[in-house]
Structure 1
Amino acid sequence: MTSAVAWALPAATAAAGRELLRRAAEERDLMRRAQGDPGALARHRLARCRAENTEALRTIVDRHGWPTGRLVGEPASTAALMILLHAPDLAFQLRCRDLVAEAAADGHCPAVHLAYIADHCAVARGEPQFYGTRVNPVTLRPYPVRCPETVDERRTDVGLAPLEQQMAALRRGA
């Protein structure tokens, strides 16, 4: 969060933003460690971190609503989304998906945030996703997509590249 943004935010929401950034960074670090050492202890630490991050995010959401960029700064809002995507609580994810949808409709949250959480929740519920952001890690193919003939239009609407372009980039990186 830039110092200019921090000064513009009330102290409580600025602190929430710093907390979100710290927690997301800690989780990224634990994920890297778990990839290098996929043992039970690393998985346990990562699971505990995600559970604690979920509770911290829940507290922020209960107090302030969805942490939009205007509320906590853009980087912290993105950190909140990352925490939400790894939350072990689908009911909480669904609740926040609706809050993100409202914030995106009001222009207070990037529409791409909604795309990621909407697809995440759809796949978790065994439903087709809307934007094709979720990919099966085994097949490297997108999980089923609702109305695949118009998926690229929906992706364009939220600022995502066409699905085939995303898949080609994924295959290059695999």
Structure 2
Amino acid sequence: MVPALARALAGELLRRAGEERRLMRQARDRPTGPWREPLAACRAGNAEALAVIVRRHGWPTTDQVGAPASTAALMILLHAPDLGLQLGCRDLIARAAADGLCPALHHAYIADHCAVELGLPQFYGTRVDPVTLRPCPVRSPGTLDERRRDVGLGPLDEQLRRLRDDVRGFRGT
């Protein structure tokens, strides 16, 4: 990929992810405000743009667009309303991670996301039920922290403790 194209793609991914973050902050700050439709439209548009990028150039790996833009692409993908896109990109990300072109952590997040969406147990424990703040079902829980360590994640108990602390801080309790 030529450098100018890589910069343009990186800028577009970062801009789109930033817009979604802005809308998410609005939703958090004004839970009763009219944010659902703009957020859904943003996510749908982001997914369409990412699908075009992937069709034309493959998964935007860190060596192509840089770490921040590759992570932005992952965030767009995780929030996309299209499971087919997520499943197709999951396989591209798996290959890129195996080749050292993007972090293994990216594959862990999308693999778990797809598993949960398909009603299957997740492998790395990255998905948590937002109501109970407990992990969605996990495959082979006895070796979970070892798998998490292999992709750069800390122990699940630490992640859950931080999440609960964040939720308490957000709720002011």
TM over 0.5, shorter chain:
yes
TM-score (norm 2): 0.93
By how many angstroms is 1:173 displaced?
1.7
Corresponding residue number in structure 2 for 1:28: 21
Distance in 2 between the 1:54 and 1:73 partners?
A: 19
Corresponding residue number in structure 2 for 1:161: 154
Taking the TM superposition and a 5 Å limit, the aligned residue runs for 1:49-88 are 49-88=42-81
Distance in 2 between the 1:85 and 1:11 partners?
A: 27
Contact persistence 2:23–2:35 (CA under 8 A): yes
Gaps of 5+ in 2: 168-173
Q: In the alignment, residue 51 of structure 2 is paired with which amino acid?
A: R
By how many angstroms is 1:36 displaced?
2.1
Q: Which moved more, 1:30-39 or 1:158-167?
A: 30-39
By how many angstroms is 1:41 displaced?
2.9
Match of residue 149, structure 1, among 133, 138, 142: 142
Partner secondary structure for residue 41 of structure 1: coil
Distance in 2 between the 1:39 and 1:54 partners?
A: 25
Taking the TM superposition and a 5 Å limit, the aligned residue runs for 1:97-108 are 97-108=90-101
Q: In the alignment, residue 80 of structure 1 is paired with which amino acid?
A: A
Distance in 2 between the 1:19 and 1:48 partners?
A: 17
By how many angstroms is 1:39 displaced?
4.1
Distance in 2 between the 1:39 and 1:170 partners?
A: 23
Matched, 1:172 2:165: yes
By how many angstroms is 1:150 displaced?
0.5
By how many angstroms is 1:9 displaced?
5.6
Contact persistence 1:9–1:72 (CA under 8 A): no
Distance in 2 between the 1:9 and 1:39 partners?
A: 45
Match of residue 116, structure 1, among 85, 103, 109: 109
Identity %: 66
Corresponding residue number in structure 2 for 1:5: none
Contact persistence 2:27–2:33 (CA under 8 A): no
Gaps of 5+ in 1: 1-7
Distance in 1 between the 2:101 and 2:67 partners?
A: 10
TM-score (norm 1): 0.93
Partner secondary structure for residue 19 of structure 1: helix
Contact persistence 1:24–1:83 (CA under 8 A): yes
Q: Deviations over 1:132-171 (max 9, x none)?
A: 0000010000000000000001000000001111111112
